A and B are shown apart, each in its own frame.
Chain A
Amino acid sequence: NAGVTQTPKFQVLKTGQSMTLQCAQDMNHEYMSWYRQDPGMGLRLIHYSVGAGITDQGEVPNGYNVSRSTTEDFPLRLLSAAPSQTSVYFCASSSDGINYGYTFGSGTRLTVV
């Protein structure tokens, strides 16, 4: 039982490049979300999904795209990387919106140069 798996763990991008951060969970959780964590800013919600085919924006969605074609996978796409997107990205999942807490992945540390 792997829980929430994020790949890659580390990535360096050049400004303007695009990439996809992968997130997969094997717990059959409906609810998945992406956060970024920055010093002094805490964890901020980027996008979230309440089930396959349903996504919505969080607090800081600009520059990011998501899709949810299956229950298991919730990839985060950086369309044109900027230095301001240098951060640690966490994916999390939950069984439902009310009764259960979050399970987090181990994070992706992204540097944009």
Chain B
Amino acid sequence: KQEVTQIPAALSVPEGENLVLNCSFTDSAIYNLQWFRQDPGKGLTSLLLIQSSQREQTSGRLNASLDKSSGRSTLYIAASQPGDSATYLCAVRGYGQNFVFGPGTRLSVLP
């Protein structure tokens, strides 16, 4: 059974710092991995989708990498801003087609 973990559970950084969020999964037989952002009381917003054949994806200040063989993905946020404060979730899609979600990392960016 696929299990997804995220480290750290919570992170607080001053504005302007670069930061890395980590996602680990136990079964490397995946189609893709998706990073989401969730604001308090809101739904999930897709940030980046990485296919299993890709190594990384970039969108603006966000860069996500995937090392399928080691079961790891990282989300790099450059020059963090208070507006980046949210919970970040990763989800992996295995051969059973369903996404399995990690518990999330709660990020606070302090002005």
Contact = CB atoms under 8 A, between A and B. Distances in A.
A45 B44 contact: no
Interface residues of B, number: 21
B42 A106 contact: yes
Interface in B19-47: 31-32, 34, 36, 42-46
Interface in B49-76: 49, 51
Contacts of B45: 104
Interface residues of A, number: 23
Nearest to A90: B43
Interface stretch (B10-18, B77-85, B101-109): B101-109
Interface string A84-113: 000000101000011111111111000000
Interface of A: 31, 33, 35, 40, 42-43, 45, 48, 50, 58, 90, 92, 97-107
Question: Which 8 pairs, one residue from A and one from B, show the smallest C-beta to C-beta distance?
Answer: A97-B97, A101-B49, A106-B43, A43-B101, A104-B44, A101-B34, A42-B103, A98-B31
